[in-house]
Amino acid sequence: MPSSKLKALLDEEGVKYVTITHSTAYTAQEIAASAHIPGKELAKTVIVKLDGEMAMVVLAATAKVDLARVRELAQVGKVELATEVEFKSRFPECSPGAMPPFGNLYGMHVYADQGLTEDEEIAFNAGSHTELMRLAYRDFERLVKPTVADLAMASAAA
């Protein structure tokens, strides 16, 4: 079942969404394969600390976050990946590592990679390792109001 906070927000705002159930998977790439969604269309949530404050970076499952770009965009001195121990209490109704990219529900600022804006829809973990949600990117952007920028590392193939 999707996070009750998330479901309540989407229902309250009249957002159309689809819930996709898949076999248990933990990494973004495993989830994409299990749910038959291209990795570039599945958004993953990475929790970072910006000068000690928790924030979310949302990017395609196939991408890696460029911490230097996040630091520059957030105009902070230090950016580091947060550990599960550091952030799991912020998401009491979510399985560790399956947080939806709705930082606004958890008191966190959200930074979204520009690449996510290229698709009409966004799919993401819904709070468990067996369920995704898919909705229009424009609804995600309207509700979350993320700071959008190029935050993914350039691939070696580029």
pLDDT tens column, 65-75: 999 999 999 99
Q: What pairing do the DSSP bridges indicate for beta strands 109-113 and 53-60?
A: parallel
Q: Which fold has domain 4-148?
A: YbaK protein (3.90.960)
Does the reported pTM lie above 0.85? Answer: yes
Buried b (16+ CB within 10 A) or exposed e, 10-26: beeeebebeebebeebe
Spans of all domains in the chain: 4-148
Residues whose CB falls within 8 Å of the CB of residue 14, separated by 6 or more in sequence, listed in order: none
Q: Which residues contact 152 (CB under 8 A, 6 or more apart)?
A: 59, 60, 63, 64, 65, 66, 113, 115
pLDDT tens digits, residue range 17-42? 999 888 787 777 777 777 778 777 78
pLDDT digits (tens, 9 = 90+) for 39-61: 777 899 999 999 999 999 999 98
User: Hey, is 120 helix, strand or coil?
Assistant: coil
Q: Tell me the average pLDDT across 90-107.
A: 91
